[in-house]
Amino acid sequence: MEELQIHSASNSYLDDLYEELGRILAEIRPWSEDLYESEYYFEKRWLEVRNSNEAIILHIFRSDGEYLESTNGNILTGKWSILENSNTMILECPTISGKAEKTLYDLSFLNKDFFILKKHGTHKSFLVLGRDQLVSGMNLEEVIDLISAQYSNNKSWIKVLFVIVLVVALFFLFRDWT
């Protein structure tokens, strides 16, 4: 019975993390690249960020549609594809039993540092991938904080830009009055 309570508590904690991540992603989505901008994710080492570091899972999207998933150095090969005119990706990867499993993901966010996909449907789960060198050794909470900090920097930049535009506009407005 105690194990069930611990598992429920950890699921609740994970749900809270995913809820926070979803809130942040909704705010930063305008800064995201799209899946057709493949230079952001082709042939790059994307480390899967989880709440536990039991397994190190690396994802590589090859330009020919091959998908590599390395779990602690053991590689499974599959395929990936993008649905035309969408930010939706299909990942096909064999399971340990050898049966191919296809999963439909919607793009939540993509830049040079993060590649975040959300499983299509009512699921709250995200596939959070970070640039290998950036997120190595970090857990999900730390990565969410990092994403939030990067967004806060963007927010500050927008405020500064707004003030500059306002000052220039006021300058031209008052110049015409004299």
Joined tokens for residue 111: 């830049």
Q: Which tens digit of pLDDT belongs to each residue from 115-148? A: 999 999 887 789 999 999 999 999 999 999 999 9
Look at residues 112, 155, 108 and name the one whose alpha carbon lies nearest to residue 134: 112
Confidence class for position 178, pLDDT limits 50, 70, 90:
low
Q: pLDDT at position 7, please?
A: 32
Domain limits of the chain? 2-177
Kindly write down the DSSP assignment for every residue of 78-140, as one continuous string.
EEEEE-TTSSEEEEEEE-TTS-EEEEEEEEEEESSSEEEEEESSS---EEEEEEHHHHTT--H
Contact in structure between 35 and 87 (CB atoms under 8 Å):
yes
Reported pTM: 0.78
Confidence class for position 177, pLDDT limits 50, 70, 90:
low
Q: Given a cut of 60, is residue 68 above it in pLDDT? A: yes
Q: Which tens digit of pLDDT belongs to each residue from 82-121? A: 999 999 999 998 777 778 899 999 999 999 999 999 999 8
Q: Does domain 2-177 have CATH number 2.40.128.370?
A: yes
